[in-house]
Structure 1
Amino acid sequence: MNIILLHTHDLGRVIEPYGAGVRTPNLMALARESTLFRHCYCTAPTCSPSRAGMLTGMLPHSAGLLGLAHRGFHLKDYSKHLVRYLGDQGFETALCGIQHEAPSDKVQEWLGYEKILGPETAGGDIEGDLENARAVCRYLREPHNRPFFLSYGMASTHRVYPKNGGVDPNYVLPPFPIPDNAQTRQDTAELYQGVMAVDDCVGMVLDAIRETGREEDSIIVFTTDHGVAFPNMKCHLYDTGIGVALMLRYPGNPGKGTATDALCSHLDLFPTLCELAGLQPPPWLQGVSLCPVLEGRAGQVRDELFAEVTYHAAYEPMRCVRTRRYKYIRFFDDLDSFSPSNTDDGPSKTVFCEAGYFDRPHPRELLFDLTLDPVERVNLAEDPQLQDVLSGLRVRLQGMMEETDDPLLEAEYTDETGKKRYRRIPAPKDSIVNRQLCLSPETHDPADFE
């Protein structure tokens, strides 16, 4: 079967099928034809590492993509990318719009796409996304002698958001955990404008799929890289950062039109596509197939998942393990507060900056009970009744890091005073990484980068 991957930047679950307060009728239509995963999580709430996890089937540190591709980070082995794997299986491979696993000038050389249908778009470029949607539709209407993999990436939901052209900010509710005021409502209204543009693009592509009969021979995936570019979301390991939309549509799906609470990771997409397409999964995959859930043979296929941050604009290493009940987050640096550089600039960030958010310390470890505290605001790491839970999650996280040769294993050491300290994991020599921990809320001075 063909594989059609529809994906967008920085969306999280802010679409109508997940209950968001924005109309997305085309994505609702797709949801009714798909299995919708209510509890899918990315491997990293930052663009390139997240996509590395999804498209190599390995955790970002295993794949080697610890930071942003356009800032000099890259995979250890591009032959392990889904595109190269499918090309080796005889698929025609085509890209239209955003990818974030390789520099823009290396897409065909490193990723191996045979065809580039349209350029990468910038945040808020609605017209660019629409033009790329038209290119995708033209491609779908062409004759194809081989099964194809088509990746269509949209950027309308990435900052800078499009100017609001139809969403009244007086009647929107900023997503949790953003406070409700005039600045954040305007920010949310502009985000919604981008979300609606994504829905329009998806609608165009779905129409072309129906018109060409591709519904009968194609697997259709809709997802995003990570949470929305607001504080406490993108680049954070809270569920608001790692929680993502995932819908799977394919011919004969017995779970069509249903939602599942099965815990799943972006790591699971690669092996799932292999099974649905009748392909032998490659040996490097770290995820599990979701087909038992899709086919109703199992309610769950995993008990835990992992996510990470190493680099975004600045170095801020952290790891987490999440089960259905608990979340454990550990920080691996000497900082006591979040780096402002790693929260995208915008009105909501300004609100947080002015309120002193980036001056507030965070503990070295966080433990949350996701049933009693789904908003992850009560740290239970010091709770005497949960020390067994905490110890168990520490063991799980340590075991994952050892099994996957996480470079952070070498970060911790004890200084001459007996205090635990952390070495910095080096970035590639040609990478652009912010040296400073604190930047102004709205500007990034080029002099601040090395």
Structure 2
Amino acid sequence: MTLEADSSADATRRPNLVLVHCHDLGQHLGCYGADVDTPNIDRIAADGARMANSFCSAPQCSPSRSSMMTGYYPHENGVMGLAHMGWALGDDWDTLPKHLRAAGYDTALLGFQHEVPNEPERLGYEYVDSGTKRALELVDVVDDFFAERADADDPFFVSIGIEEPHRPFRRDYLPEGTYDSYDPDEVPLDDFPYLPDAPGVREDVADLRSVISEVLDPAVGRYRESLADAGLAEETVFVFTTDHGLAMPRAKGTCYDPGIETALLVHRPGVVEGGAVHDDLVTNVDFTPTMLDLLGVEPPTETSGESFAPLLRGEPHDGRDRIFAEMTWHDRYNPIRAIRTDRYKYVRNFSLLPEVFVPIDVAPTASGREVHEEFHVPQRPAEELYDLAADPHESENLASDRKPFETAAEASDPEPSHVDALDRLRDELEAWMESTDDPLLDGPVPYPDVE
């Protein structure tokens, strides 16, 4: 599709859009009930809306971000792995910044993006400052940007990309005293029921909490202060989100909820009700259509994503009753497809890997080793089904334990009372794969032909 410029005078009266997105956060914030101090980010939820059941299209960086920026699933837009490993978004894809440029917006990127390996201008950004991607180092960059925009005529979209809390959680080159480290022996593990109580896990959780509360949260608070100081807050949509779940074992790199749940907070003064909490299922495939709709720009109609802006505006909205998630490549081939409803999660594992896969940016950690030793599983079953109402931590697989290379006769039967749900979700997942031309239906997906 070729985007046409919007030359109407209305373009100058549309609100600005500030998108703050970080790495690997999941929903580990105070406003989502996590035991971590995040007063600044929590204030966005208090001023605006919190999406309680927000999920991503993929539990890894580039594929998830490609969905956010295009409104298509990773296997549709081609970003089925990491951008620096050959899976970059093609120049012909319409992105959120391209849509907004056509609508008369100035577009800028400050910090991090991971949809293409370099030249982020290809995504539709007119101005790029990628000199740093550290949350606190970006404070001055953001402050200067807003100050320069204070008297501009055209509305703007700025994407502020933050590295934290990507591993490693502790960074020695940050200023001394940045971390007010939690005591690993005292840190509560209630937010991590899927992990064992082990020293390495405790160290990781303590450092994760430190980087979120002492680095990420105050930086986001400073960005909002800069916006207000420039006199732009009342005419701006401010969004905070993340790409996928926490960089912990059984989270990032899996389609379990800790891998695909995402924080999503939206503030638009006078439009989005402060303190609103929406339990509707949403996915970041819906992000671009929703943002365009919220800004008064006609969203594209042919995307897999759909706008939930009416929900944010307090209008009647027929939302989703299911979301889909996927993984194909990370640092290894690990094809997974999943469907989630309010009640159930169905996961289909296509891999013949000899053991459970853990992404390289999780596996070398102390917690990764200890989780592997305590919960080692020879191989994931071909199918997984979880009753989220009775088993929110997805610990009891109600499907057969058959492995991808086994016949049904070699494995257990599904739990009888959930067979109907298993059959229905299996069919719905396959129908989705067919309707979106998932290449996995034709067999293993090869690595991209790149140098």
TM-score by length of 1: 0.87
Counterpart selection for 2:69 from 55, 59, 62: 55
- The aligned counterpart of 1:316 is 334
> How many residues get paired?
410
Counterpart selection for 1:5 from 1, 15, 19: 19
Q: In the aligned structure 1, how far is the partner of 2:185 from the partner of 2:255?
A: 30
Identity, % of aligned pairs? 38
The CA deviation at 1:272 is: 1.2
- The aligned counterpart of 2:208 is 191
Counterpart selection for 1:119 from 126, 131, 136: 131
Q: SS where residue 169 of structure 1 aligns?
A: coil
Q: Would the aligned equivalents of 1:57 and 1:284 in 2 still touch at CA under 8 Å?
A: no
Q: Would the aligned equivalents of 2:167 and 2:361 in 1 still touch at CA under 8 Å?
A: no
**Does residue 25 of structure 1 match 2:45?**
no
- The aligned counterpart of 2:80 is 66
Q: Would the aligned equivalents of 1:27 and 1:202 in 2 still touch at CA under 8 Å?
A: yes
Q: Would the aligned equivalents of 2:250 and 2:256 in 1 still touch at CA under 8 Å?
A: yes
- The aligned counterpart of 2:426 is 394
Q: In the aligned structure 1, how far is the partner of 2:41 from the partner of 2:158?
A: 18
Q: Deviations for 1:90-109, whole angstroms, at most 9, x for unmatched residues?
A: 21111111111011x3212x
Q: Deviations for 1:216-264, whole angstroms, at most 9, x for unmatched residues?
A: 1111111000011111000100001000100011122353212111111
**Does residue 257 of structure 1 match 2:255?**
no
Q: Deviations for 1:279-337, whole angstroms, at most 9, x for unmatched residues?
A: 11124421221123223334751111100000011000010011111111001222353
Q: SS where residue 300 of structure 2 aligns?
A: coil
Counterpart selection for 2:155 from 136, 143, 147: 147
Q: In the aligned structure 2, how far is the partner of 1:76 from the partner of 1:254?
A: 34
The CA deviation at 1:135 is: 0.5
Q: Would the aligned equivalents of 1:95 and 1:113 in 2 still touch at CA under 8 Å?
A: yes
- The aligned counterpart of 2:193 is 176
Q: Deviations for 1:102-141, whole angstroms, at most 9, x for unmatched residues?
A: 11x3212x213111134243xxxxxx32121220111111
RMSD: 1.7
Q: In the aligned structure 1, how far is the partner of 2:375 from the partner of 2:312?
A: 45
Counterpart selection for 2:55 from 29, 33, 41: 41
Structure 1 segment 281-296 matched on structure 2, within 5 A: 281-296=299-314
Q: Would the aligned equivalents of 2:308 and 2:317 in 1 still touch at CA under 8 Å?
A: no
Q: SS where residue 232 of structure 1 aligns?
A: coil
Q: Given residue 172 of structure 1, which amino acid in structure 2 is its aligned partner?
A: V
Q: Would the aligned equivalents of 1:36 and 1:246 in 2 still touch at CA under 8 Å?
A: yes
Gaps of 5+ in 1: 122-127, 412-423, 432-450
**Does residue 84 of structure 1 match 2:98?**
yes
The CA deviation at 1:63 is: 0.9
The CA deviation at 1:203 is: 0.6
**Does residue 425 of structure 1 match 2:445?**
yes
- The aligned counterpart of 1:437 is none
Q: In the aligned structure 1, how far is the partner of 2:307 from the partner of 2:391?
A: 29
The CA deviation at 1:47 is: 0.4
The CA deviation at 1:161 is: 1.2
Q: In the aligned structure 2, how far is the partner of 1:78 from the partner of 1:191?
A: 38
The CA deviation at 1:182 is: 2.2
Q: SS where residue 263 of structure 1 aligns?
A: strand
Gaps of 5+ in 2: 1-14, 172-178, 400-413
Q: In the aligned structure 2, how far is the partner of 1:425 from the partner of 1:405?
A: 13
**Does residue 134 of structure 1 match 2:140?**
yes
Q: In the aligned structure 1, how far is the partner of 2:91 from the partner of 2:349?
A: 27
Q: Deviations for 1:263-284, whole angstroms, at most 9, x for unmatched residues?
A: 1111122111111111111244
Q: In 2 relative to 1, CA 331–322 (structure 1 residues): closer, same or farther, beyond 3 Å?
A: same
- The aligned counterpart of 1:205 is 223
The CA deviation at 1:22 is: 1.1
- The aligned counterpart of 2:386 is 368
